[in-house]
Amino acid sequence: MNTLIPTQDLDLLLKQAEALLEGEKDKIANMANLSALVYHSIPDLNWVGFYIYKDRELVLGPFQGLPACVRLQLNKGVCGTSASLRMTLNVPDVHAFEGHVACDSASNSECVVPIYFIDELYGVFDVDSPIVNRFDKELQKFLEDIGSLFIKTYE
């Protein structure tokens, strides 16, 4: 499936994200702005946000979309598995993912980018879609770039 927007538009969107973060060190503000930018710029998404690692679990952070699960366990669901494996999980059909945690029954595909800072888990950047197989390689790379951009602000 196509991202529904040209790759050059993703490049421009990444530049907009860089401009939003420039000079701002508040993590909550930056997560909020990145969530809003992605949610309102990429078609066919129903949830975009961050979960922050606290007390050995992922806790809901800034997001755009319907209310969500507040706490997620590591090694469970797409978010917890992505964080534990230290790798992006691009799940074309969440209903086929063993242990999927259904925070929004409208979600059918999900891409989760783990965020590590100085080799320690900070959290995950989670993006959901009501469309099965919504996240192609270009969109996955863009979401990974957003996660990298977020953490580079603090290096």
- pLDDT tens, residue by residue, 1-38: 456 677 779 999 999 999 999 999 999 999 999 999 99
Phi then psi dihedrals of residue 7, to 5 deg: -55, -40
Q: Where are the domains of the chain?
A: 7-152
| Sheet of 120-129, strands arranged across | 71-73, 57-65, 47-54, 120-129, 109-117, 89-91
- pLDDT tens, residue by residue, 88-135: 999 999 999 988 888 888 899 999 999 999 889 999 999 999 999 999
CA 55/CA 66 separation, integer angstroms:
25
Model-level pTM greater than 0.85?
yes
What pLDDT is recorded for position 1? 44
What pLDDT is recorded for position 7? 74
Domain 7-152 sits in CATH at 3.30.450.40
